[in-house]
């Protein structure tokens, strides 16, 4: 295995615990449009997908812009108060930068709320590049977002690893020729997927374990 010098991380469910605000935004949307909430498990299955794509699938007979507006109104008003860093993430990012790794964020979230989250918790400075849904025409699991990050960082796929919480992250990494690591605190990946044909190269239970993986490949 080539020496890893580049680490790419997903935002939602990996760096930032946004589960509550995402689930809350969807339930607000369902209450507004359908008059009742849906099962949380149904919402979790959409994690990692671009919002427009999910909305179009869930509400095919409704104006897409109107449905998205309902979701985003709740999301915007509650985002700052309902998000938090996962344990150990700040320390991981600090260690990565301190040891000279190139660090990128690759997310299907829009730029505005991504940057709001990074700035709120003082971690923006740890990232050498940030690739959001605003930067891509194709989204995870297509490799384009990762390829954009690698190009910006002048990094090679074989020298890179992607840390994420959904199969969209894992498949995106694999399609780009990048090693993949899945966080065990993911809500979106079943046990079968974690061990199946598209399984990640690594599964980590705590953020600091990524440094152990990197040290074994340096």
Say how far apart CA 147 and CA 106 lie, in whole Å.
Answer: 10
Q: Is 212 a catalytic residue?
A: no
User: Beta-carbon neighbour count of residue 122 at 10 Å?
Assistant: 11
DSSP characters over 105-158: EE-SS-HHHHHHHHHHTT-GGG-SEEE-GGG-SS-TTSSHHHHHHHHHHT--GG
Q: What are the residues facing 139 on neighbouring strands?
A: none
Number of H helices, E strands in the chain: 10, 8
Residues noted as catalytic: 10
């Amino acid at each position: 295995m080539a020496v890893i010098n580049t680490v790419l991380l997903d935002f939602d469910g990996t760096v930032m615990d946004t589960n509550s605000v995402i689930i809350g935004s969807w339930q607000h949307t369902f209450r507004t449009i359908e008059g009742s909430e849906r099962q949380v498990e149904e919402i979790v299955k959409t994690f990692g997908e671009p919002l427009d794509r999910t909305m179009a699938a869930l509400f095919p007979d409704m104006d897409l812009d109107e449905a998205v507006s309902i979701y985003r109104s709740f999301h915007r008003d509650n985002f700052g108060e309902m998000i938090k860093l996962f344990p150990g993430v700040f320390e991981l990012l600090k260690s990565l930068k301190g040891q000279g790794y190139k660090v990128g964020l690759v997310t299907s979230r829009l730029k505005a709320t991504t940057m709001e989250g990074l700035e709120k918790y003082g971690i923006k400075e740890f990232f050498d590049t940030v690739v959001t849904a605003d930067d891509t025409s194709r989204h995870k699991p297509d490799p384009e977002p990762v390829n954009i990050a690698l190009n910006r960082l002048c990094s090679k796929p074989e020298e890179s690893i992607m840390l994420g919480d959904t199969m969209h992250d894992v498949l995106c990494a694999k399609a780009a020729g990048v090693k993949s690591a899945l966080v065990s605190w993911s809500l979106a990946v079943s046990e079968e997927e974690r061990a199946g044909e598209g399984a990640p190269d690594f599964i980590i239970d705590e953020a600091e374990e990524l440094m152990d993986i990197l040290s074994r490949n340096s």
